[in-house]
Amino acid sequence: MFTGIVTDIGRILALEHRGDLRARIATGYDVQTIDIGASIACDGVCLTVVALGSKPEPWFDVDISAETLSKTNLGGWEQGRRINLERALKVGDELGGHIVSGHVDGLAEVVAMRTEGDSTRVTFRAPEALAGFIAPKGSVALNGTSLTVNEVEGREFGVNLIPHTQQVTTWGTVAVGDRVNLEIDTLARYVARMRDWAARG
């Protein structure tokens, strides 16, 4: 489990197709504190660490399955790309965002951007099947970042990116047309499930 609070910006060092896609990611984390088999959210996708190293800079390797590539934007990763990273939540950690599983539901597209004071208002278009799970003042995880929804109109929803968020994540380089990993709020998922069961009864 994660919180959607990004704690490092990684960089893709290498990509290798070997059945699955193997990615090597440079990190500011102390790799001596990371175990093989640990989970790290990479742009919001929970991936398992399969190798570690410290030269020429700290790095970890992950394997990415075809299923994950089909549901996320990881298939568009290129060498040098910067990505949001978060290590798994530990018991006793502060829950600063919201509960995030790292299981991406689909891709949202950036359809508009505008400056509002020092912040940036970004409008996304969600897939039809996921739009009903997104509510004003609710939470979503976008590329692994916990964000609050400001408004919803049909499939489109807006979020506000404050300067701090743009500085400590990859959101400072977002552009119209980008496709980002979307994970809907777990609570919204279960509320919808309960509603559907109630409607049947």
- The DSSP annotation for 42-109 comes to ETTEEEEEEEEE-SSS-EEEEEE-HHHHHHSSGGG--TT-EEEEEEPP-TT----S--B-S---EEEE
- Domain check: are 116 and 158 in the same one? yes
Average pLDDT over residues 119-137: 95
pLDDT at residue 97 greater than cutoff 80? no
Q: Percent of the chain having pLDDT more than 70?
A: 94
Q: Which of 87, 116, 146 is the last residue of a domain?
A: 87
**pLDDT value at residue 196:** 67
Q: Which domain holds residue 149?
A: 106-200
Average pLDDT over residues 27-55: 97
**pLDDT value at residue 123:** 98
Please check whether residue 81 lies inside any domain of the structure: yes
SS3 (DSSP) at 30: coil
Please check whether residue 127 lies inside any domain of the structure: yes
Q: Percent of the chain having pLDDT more than 90?
A: 83
Q: Which of 28, 59, 87 is the last residue of a domain?
A: 87
Please check whether residue 94 lies inside any domain of the structure: no
Average pLDDT over residues 137-162: 96
- Domain check: are 73 and 110 in the same one? no
- Domain check: are 141 and 114 in the same one? yes
- CB contact at 8 A, 152 and 13: no
Please check whether residue 93 lies inside any domain of the structure: no
Contacts of 87 (CB under 8 A, 6+ apart): 7, 29, 34, 38, 39, 40, 41
Nearest of 69, 84, 74, 58 to residue 173 by alpha carbon: 84
Please check whether residue 147 lies inside any domain of the structure: yes
SS3 (DSSP) at 110: strand
Q: Domain holding 34: CATH number? A: 2.40.30.20
**pLDDT value at residue 193:** 64
**pLDDT value at residue 19:** 84
**Alpha-carbon radius of gyration of the chain:** 17
- Domain check: are 111 and 176 in the same one? yes
- Domain check: are 118 and 195 in the same one? yes
Average pLDDT over residues 24-44: 97
Q: What is the pTM of this model?
A: 0.91
- Domain check: are 61 and 19 in the same one? yes
CA–CA separation, 124 and 72 (whole Å): 16
Confidence of residue 190 (pLDDT cuts 50, 70, 90): low
**pLDDT value at residue 99:** 83
Domains: count for the chain: 2
Average pLDDT over residues 148-172: 96
**pLDDT value at residue 185:** 85
